A and B are shown apart, each in its own frame.
Chain A
């Protein structure tokens, strides 16, 4: 791999530029109406570089990354499956790219047809009555979901229901979202088998319960077997059930959250429906609701009047929790999800669930056979599973972090580490359905190799990675000596 790149400002030379990209110069007279006190006095300090320099710089930067296109990426809870090129190509047709969000609906029936059909397909796979596409990420979808639950209770005059129950193993966005919605958070434990502690749940529900946020399979990688009972307990207490769709890949086409008793769900289109992760987004967190919450969906939603599609807004949904996006969310991402779902089709959805689960269980079995400890050995893996390295940490002084860094040297992106917080020294491993058996076998071989190194030559593991563009980074220094923007005379 290339060893590294200077920061682009360091290539800057006064007067350089990609002149082919500049409009013609405007005579000063055309700017005469802008008052001097509102004008910039110096040009903005952006780098001055030519076009080839820019292309070379960013191409070389891209080559410093691991990505799904280049490496196996078994990040648990992230669903790093292949991002089909067709999704990108057809979502980026010029007409779709050129369309202004406020262009009249008459000029967007093609796009609206895609989005409407996407809503319908998402309803079908989730078992919900209504879907809204505008939340721009899973976390915004969660926000919408909890906000809708809160709106529902308030609309019924039940103002005391302000508490959201969250299992202790939940993803950090769940309690953060509850707080953003003005709710209190109550955590309940999971039992040793990885299921919710039913007795603790019974003790936690009451007239203050707005709802519970769950994912199924859970963040521990196992199916919540007593979900019907959980649903009954929460519903009987007057609360609603929210489904965090991060793990939908495990059950896609096999089980529908609506059938499990969930009242509202968000789906991560950038996970289950293969829209690109893009180095940190953009995602899309579509939400689905049962009948009770239909009036509260965030706007806009695509509606149909006979043959015509149109946007439903505040006038159509007066009880909506409101608008979460300046326009209608991440349309380009939604198109990619639409194309993916059309290519999967009815049978393909089920195959995703089947093969994601097959790959995870196979990988789990091979790792167990190689001597690694599963966190829940008596349970089936869902689409992901947890291996705990606490024995290795204790006996060999080699941690999950060390394994993760050494895996990079073997050409694999590390699994998720230290999440869920509940399991010490854990690796949360999600292969996804688009990987071959050979890739999984190679991963097992690497893990076996690393454990051998940990026994015989531990420094090789504890100081890994060795072959990446950088060695292990000092994140304490990064937080203590904040260097967040480039400065001309900056010295490390």
Chain B
């Protein structure tokens, strides 16, 4: 074994395979670049939805909104997760990446996919929203871009499992089960493979349809697309929770309170979330109530059970670790004395709060068959998923970055003072933004809508309950704070990579 391919981490003692480090860095950089693009798009969208500003014209609003969804929900998050997979399989196990050339193919395909998607969207040839519901039709190259991106991600998942296999076979880590974080990421990768296969099942026919080679049933599309669409969110959940455990360990020395409970919870995600996508089509024709209830009720709740388990296990592990440090007075001394000035720690704590209280509760509630009638396609939905994917997953990924920078990029974080504030700006911003969206949506404010004041001059234009505008204002303040938080993150990250003090 060529040991010059490895370096030993002076902090964790782990052996880092240099090609793995390069792959992590490449994917992480791509992720942050896409976050920047998605963030600029977010600013454009937010400034347009605020009626007093109404920045973009209609066609550009819908275009930038499409770009925003793709850049954030697909590109930023999946690139970051690829970096996480290499970390979980290679770094945590002292193992070499299996098939580094394939791993680089993963990166190249995803970059090419993103470039194709961006080109099509920005030239107005894919004004279809992230969901691209037929009969809305984009240029065939748009669908090809998504397919290439997905194939790249699929390759990344296979390299991940190949690496795990190799690590086990070569005995690069102490004999026993994979560490919990690796296990969590493996579950995320399993969900990813099933998700991406659903993606192929819908995007290949849609590509053919866009070329005029076959028909496309609108309801069938919705069913299969959401099998891709929702499951991909569960990849994000499993990855986010793995990050919670990782940061918990690195920041306070957290130990899982019960390996059995935590691992079972991850397995529940794998088994059930692939099926539980029908909460997106509860007020659709075609599907029966029985079908909707089984999928949304029985199956989804088994996945939610997993989240409820982690909801206790993660903070409990942190509490136990802090109590061991001596913070045993009363119920909450551990919380008060926790390392809140560690931006990675504060990020995941905020992430846990946001994902659980705001995202999770509203998700299960809005996903119930009957309540959905009052919320479908309103801004309540948008508020819900910003709470889960942004307040939850994105903030957690931002937090772990503060460890990835010194541990993998080997640079001291530049601007630590700002970094400490960053999770608070972003978290509180997202709290107000998501909350504002959900409450405005409760008054009927729709999602994906360019003009709620004049309706483009429609003669049927009407006036909203003024309370809706108040919540829209809260959204605006939240969006501003979150944008500041996002900007600090990008500046700190880029600044660190370019100018941060090099670590030995």
Q: Do A and B bind each other?
A: no
Q: Which residues of B contact A (CB under 8 A)?
A: none
**Which residues of A line the B interface, CB within 8 A?**
none
